Amino acid sequence: MKILSDLLHAINPKQIIGLTDISIFSIEHNSRTCEKKSLFIAIKGTTTDGHAFIQNAIDNGAAAIICEKLPDDLIKDITYIIVENARSTAADISHIFHNNPSSRLKIYGVTGTNGKTTVTFILKQLLEAHGEKCGIIGTTGNYFGDKKIETKYTTPEAPELCKILSEMAEEGITTVIMEVSSHSLIMERVRGIRFSAALFTNLSHDHLDFHRTMEEYAQAKKMLFDMLPADAIAIVNGDGVYSHYMLTDCKAKRKYTVGMEHRFDTTIHSVECSLQGTHFSLDIDGSFPETLHARYMFSTLLLGFFNVENMALCISLCLALGMDKVVLSEAVRQSHGAPGRMEAIPLPNNSVAIIDYAHTPDALEKVLRTCRATLHNYSSTKGTLITVFGCGGNRDAKKRPLMGSIASELSDSIIITSDNPRNEHPQIIAEEILRGFTRLIPVLIILDRKEAIERALSSAQSGDIVLIAGKGHETTQTIGSSVLHFSDRGVVEEYHHSIT
């Protein structure tokens, strides 16, 4: 609880109507979550405007309203605070209300198109082996140690984010690993967060319906590195096109690059991939604390070269933090990554289903190349790669033919199905994917995703891989305005049980 007047010094109101010596019990940006004595902040979103819900917030108990314009009808005994920018105000006032939670935690931000979720889970597992008590904020949910809370956004709005960070600090969490989306940076959701480190995975075609160009997309990601203080750590995948740009003008004094080239601080060597795991070596230069220039061997249960890149980023941060190398090596060996990311499920006939969240051209290509590379190691016969995927509706349509082209080049057969069609007709989405095909291979369009997965699994022979891409960890499917329960993993497990 705070007194409203004590919060207002964080902002510069244009006008105040009503009393300020009132108690505020919570800060809300969603009118439905308002309760007695809430402060409601009317934020303009991409599809809705919080100003339209001011009356709802008051009906639910809000005692004060922060807005950019006054409603037509003012309610007696309600305090109205008019500001220039409600979104930035939401961040500034939320930090004060929750006693600046980011100053009580070590917060590591992870940004990039692909790999963010996997990196957060790897880091959690490695740092916990070093004695840290870690939380995660990201796509698959918010994790307080082993406790999971579902989330709507990869990075929550500032009032919710500050509340989560405060609760984590109160529960004894010492370190929070946070996925930082480009949307959250542009929309100032992480404004005021003090990041102790930032990691950049890669940048590829995605969200161009929002950012318009790759340059604008990169500028959004760079905002995380521009936020870093001098005592922070910045680590980038140096093989990426935009990695040098991320570090330009970054104030962090400790900057590290990771990748395949010898000029990097951490250089990847000798990668051996199979469906049983991956072995690799890292050349570590002498710029890390208490680390001599040497080559270190690692083994991980994670599959694929892109997971070696993810792991190398995480190892580099742990070395920069001074983590013991023996403890680190064992933690890498035991790390199991994130749910729905290259998640392999062996099937009774000696084929394998792999569930992955890949929903961008770059991610799909990486997963398909990983599957192709592991087929030889996995099977004594000539295994084939069967791919099941679709594309989301009401999202970046330009990537659909690109993903069709990639899938046709790298798969042996394909079933195009629905992803989250939302308010688009799934047949139209499927045809746009099909338009990108550059190679004549067996292809089916089965719009019922469950039926498509079952068809692929039933056609798989010994030594085959069935890649089910696009939804990964998700447990729902959005069709029209309906959000239905659906799990790729659940379908695979149900099929597995039906034939055993």
In this predicted model, what pLDDT tens digit does every residue of 250-260 receive, in sequence order?
999 999 999 99
DSSP-derived 3-state class of residue 233:
strand
Backbone torsions φ then ψ of 7, nearest 5 degrees: -90, -25
What torsion do the CA atoms of 38, 41, 46, 51 make, to the nearest 10 degrees? 100
Does residue 203 sit in the same domain as residue 318? yes
Domain co-membership, 380 together with 410: yes
**Domains in the chain: how many in total?**
3
Question: How many angstroms from the chain centroid is the CA of residue 276?
Answer: 25
The per-residue pLDDT for 193 is 97
- 73 shares a domain with 107: no
pLDDT of 481 reads 92
Within this chain, do residues 201 and 316 fall inside the same structural domain, yes or no?
A: yes
235 in a structural domain = yes
DSSP 374-403: HHHHH-SS---EEEEE---TTS-TTHHHHH
Residues 327 and 350 in one domain: no
Domain final residue pick, 305, 334, 363: 334
Report the CATH number at residue 53: 3.40.1390.10
C-alpha 377 chain-centroid distance:
30
Alpha-carbon gap, residue 403 to 354, rounded angstroms: 18
Please tell me whether residues 304 and 354 are part of one structural domain: no
pLDDT of residue 209: 54
By CB neighbour count within 10 A (0-12 exposed, 13-18 middle, 19+ buried), where does 433 fall? buried
- Entry pTM: 0.82
Angle at 412 between CA 406 and CA 418, to 5 degrees: 60
- The reply to whether 351 and 326 lie within a common domain is no
Residues 74 and 132 in one domain: no
In which domain, by residue range, is 318 found? 101-334
| Shared domain check, 115 and 240 | yes
| 86/41 Cα distance (integer angstroms) | 7
Containing 28, the helix (H) or strand (E) segment is: strand 26-28
Which tens digits make up the pLDDT trace of 313-359? 999 999 999 999 999 999 999 998 888 888 888 888 888 999 999 99
Residue 400 domain flag: yes
- Note whether 25 and 163 are same-domain residues: no
Same domain, 350 and 410: yes
What pLDDT sits at residue 292? Answer: 67
Which residues of the chain are under the pLDDT cut of 70? Answer: 205-212, 292, 376-381, 500
Torsion of CA 191, 197, 202, 205, to 10 degrees: -10
Same domain? For 65 and 198 the reply is: no
Please name every residue paired with 414 in a beta bridge, in sequence order, or none if there are none.
Answer: 387, 443
Q: Is residue 94 part of a domain?
A: no
> Quick one: which H or E segment has residue 350?
none
> What is d(CA 38, CA 23) in angstroms, rounded to the nearest whole number?
9
